[in-house]
Each structure stands twice: as C-alpha cells, then as structure tokens.
Chain A
Amino acid sequence: MVSEAPGNTRSLEQQVWQIASDVPDPEIPVVTLGDLGIVRDVIVEKDGVAIVKLTPTYSGCPAVQMIEDSVRDAVHAAGFKCQVERVISPSWTTDWISENGREKLRAYGIAPPVRKSGAKPQLFERDSPQCPRCKSDNTKLISQFGSTPCKAHFQCEACLEPFDYFKCL
C-alpha cells in the first residue's frame, strides 16, 4: 500500500511503514496497528517529512488520539519528521485484521470476529465464537457491548470462563 516512488524514497516509505505498523494497539497491546489494518499509507515528501495516514476503527474510538500520538513519537524516534493524517475512507473493517492478528487476539483471550463484514444477522441470531481458552463452541452472549465498543462479552458454557469477542464491523 505504500506509494510507488523511485529507489531511495521508496525504501524510506517502507521503513516508516514498518515503524508505524509495529506500534502496539494501546488497548490490546499484543496486536500491532499493522495487525489491525489501521496504517493505510505512507508518503515521504521531498523535504523528508513522513506523512502517515491512519484510519480510526470505530467513529467514537477513544484510543484514536493516543494511536496517532504513538505513531508520531515512534516515527520521530527513528529520525523522521512526521505528520499523521486521519483518513476515514474506505471505512475500517474487521476484514482487515491479519490472520496473524487474529491468532494473537485468540492467544490473548479475545475471540476474533466470526463473520465477514457486511453480514446481516437476524434479530436474536447469535455468533458462536470458540472459547479462546478451552476451544469449546458452546459459548453464550452476555452483552452485545463489552469493555470497549468494538467488543462483546461472552461466557463459555463448558469451562465457564468469560471472554471478550471482537465484533464484526
């Protein structure tokens, strides 16, 4: 997704892209912004300023400011001047979470989204994410909204442990 540019600029952009992508998500630090698909583009201008384009997950995500500040700090620390631009189109979707990201979420105890974006379940229809601890499919929804707007709260009927579910968006 980095812009095409000859030689030197291109490798600078890839470098900044990697730095931004490796920044951990402040709420779920086991996954990176790259894992979540939050880094959308990097352009290094002729004057050396790196412009990093990030997208918010939810409209009301309270971590957006912190994410932007973290990226700016990380890119500065690597010796670049940095501007962060917020882009909202195309809309962020859970489809952009990498396979690696999904595994990290699972290992951390958060069940990754079961559906693809755009699915329109009926009222009272429920996802059955697998319990991240004991892998049982026998799980039930406790609340459609959990510790953050992006997550729902589930309980496993087999091992009885509660867990967060990353909702499909």
Chain B
Amino acid sequence: MSNAAHQSVLFDYLVCLGDDHLILGHRLSQWCGHAPMLEEDLALSNISLDMFGQARNLYTYAGEIEGKGRDEDALAFLRKEHEYHNLMLVERPNGDFAQTILRQLFYSQFALLLWEKLSTSTDERLAAIAQKAHKEASYHVRHAAEWVIRLGDGTDESARRMANALKTLAPNIEEMFANGEENTALTDAGIIPTPDSLRTAWRKRISDVFDEAQMDMAQLDVHPIKGARQGRHSEAMGHILAELQYMQRTYPNCQW
C-alpha cells in the first residue's frame, strides 16, 4: 500500500478511536449536576475530562496526518453524522446510573486492553498517546468495576437495575471486537492490534467482575447490532450531535 493510502487508513483509525472518546465523554458530561450523589458527579465528570483529553490527542494527531488544516475542534464539531465512526455502545442513552456505569465498565475495559497493545505500536506518536491513556483508563475500569460489583451484588432493586442494564447493552458488545478489512494495513504494520484479538482477555476480565457481581455472562450472548463503526448510527446520535454541534451551527467559527 502506498504511504499516502497508509496514512489515510491511519487517519480514519485515529478519528474512529477519537470518536469513541468524544461521544462517551459527552455522554458522561450529561451527568454533571445530575448524578445521584456529589462523589459520583465528580467521578463521572472527571472520567469525561480524561476521555476528552484522550480524544484531543487522537484528533490532533489525525489532523496533522491529514494535512488539510483540520484541527481537533474541526474534527470534533464539524462533521456530518455518518462521518462519525464511534461504537453504538457509547452513544446509547445514559439511562439510570446502573446503565451508565455498566457501559463504562464495558468500554473502559476494552480501552484498557487496547491502550496496552497500542503502547507498543510501531507508530511512536500513537504509542505515546496510548502510554498516557492506559494509566488513566485503569482508574476508569477500577471505578466502574467496583460499582458494578456493589450494585450487582447489592439490594433487590440494584440487582434488577443492573440486570436491565446488561440486557439493554448486550447487543452493542460484539461491535467492539469486529475486525474491519480496511485496517489490515495497520495491523500488518504493527500499528494496531486486530479488534478481535482483544475479545478473550475482555471476556475474562468482565467474567471476573460478573462473578463477584452475581451477574450472568450468558446474557452477553445475544444477536449483535452493528453499523455505527460504518457511520450508521442509532437515533440517539442525532440528538447528541444536535447538542454537541449547537454552538458551531448557530455561530459558525465561533471562538472561545
């Protein structure tokens, strides 16, 4: 593959991973001022901040590779819905706290495993971004896992809400591990791992948490929904972008 084509694939990958972090960060920020208790308001907002930081690092690098003058803000705020390639998992509504924290466990455990692999990427800049993100993600996983255990193995109500959350989010898990043919050049060059290479380790870690949380791994084995990675999003994505892009659409090129 030519270097230019190679760079184009890397750009797409960086933006895709940036989109996961932007959209999940945005979802978490929607809890600010509304969380069930102050400590969680702080926690979810701070995790959101970490995710935005990681998105910024990814988008900035992507913009440099593209070389068309698009910076992190242009990439974050100025694309059409089908141009965002985040997982559907991260655009799902927050629901109740159980759904939010289970979604966080699912995504952050995936991210932790991915960042670990990316830390030894043959692309130095991506490896550097990953080395920072990995340490931060480990705190996100701990926080989410501890809550899933407390709630799963909690009261009748907390267990019920956790079970509902699991049922709601189960169809969005497989998309995390779907390989894309378009990324073959990146995996061949040792820049990224294949998504499906993370599945076994992810299932083991989630299984360990579910054992303590009295939750059933079998609930994950449902027919998967995919398409968001290809830009085919759920209805929720439109609402997210309406909020996220409101200022730029109303006052184009506005600057803080």
Contacts and interface: CB of A to CB of B under 8 A. Distances in A.
Interface residues of B, number: 34
B210 to A, nearest CB: 13
Contacts of B43: 143-145
A26 interface: no
Contacts of A143: 38-40, 42-43
Interface string A130-169: 0000000000001111111100010000000000000101
B153 interface: no
Interface stretch (B51-59, B78-86, B155-163, B196-204): B51-59
A142 B45 CA distance: 16
A152 to B, nearest CB: 9
Nearest to B135: A169
Given A88-B129, A153-B39, A61 B142 contact: no
State the main secondary structure of chain A at its contact with B. loop
A8 interface: no
- Chain A's interface size range is 20 to 34
Nearest to A151: B46
A60 B209 CA distance: 27
A58 B38 CA distance: 22
B47 A89 contact: no
B5 to A, nearest CB: 27
Interface stretch (B94-102, B143-151, B175-183, B186-194): B143-151
Contacts, number: 82
Contacts of A59: 50, 53-54, 56-57, 129, 132-133, 136
B246 interface: no
A62 interface: yes
B49 interface: yes
Nearest to B127: A89
B115 to A, nearest CB: 11
A86 to B, nearest CB: 10
B129 A60 contact: no
A56 B50 CA distance: 12
B128 interface: yes
Contact of B142 (A62, A123, A149): A123
Nearest to A120: B138
A117 B135 contact: yes
Contacts of A91: 128, 131-132, 135
Nearest to A124: B146
A144 B143 contact: yes
B132 A88 contact: yes
A60 to B, nearest CB: 3
A143 B52 CA distance: 21
A54 to B, nearest CB: 14
Nearest to B119: A91
Interface in A69-98: 88-93
A78 to B, nearest CB: 29
Given A88-B132, A167-B139, A60 B49 contact: yes
Most buried by B among A88, A120, A123: A123
A58 B42 contact: no
23 contacts: A56-B53, A58-B50, A59-B57, A59-B129, A60-B49, A60-B50, A60-B51, A62-B49, A88-B132, A89-B128, A91-B132, A121-B142, A123-B149, A142-B39, A143-B40, A144-B143, A145-B46, A145-B47, A146-B42, A149-B49, A149-B50, A149-B136, A169-B136
Interface of A: 56, 58-62, 88-93, 117, 120-121, 123-124, 142-149, 153, 167, 169
The 6 closest A-B pairs by CB, nearest first: A60-B53, A59-B53, A89-B128, A143-B39, A145-B46, A60-B49
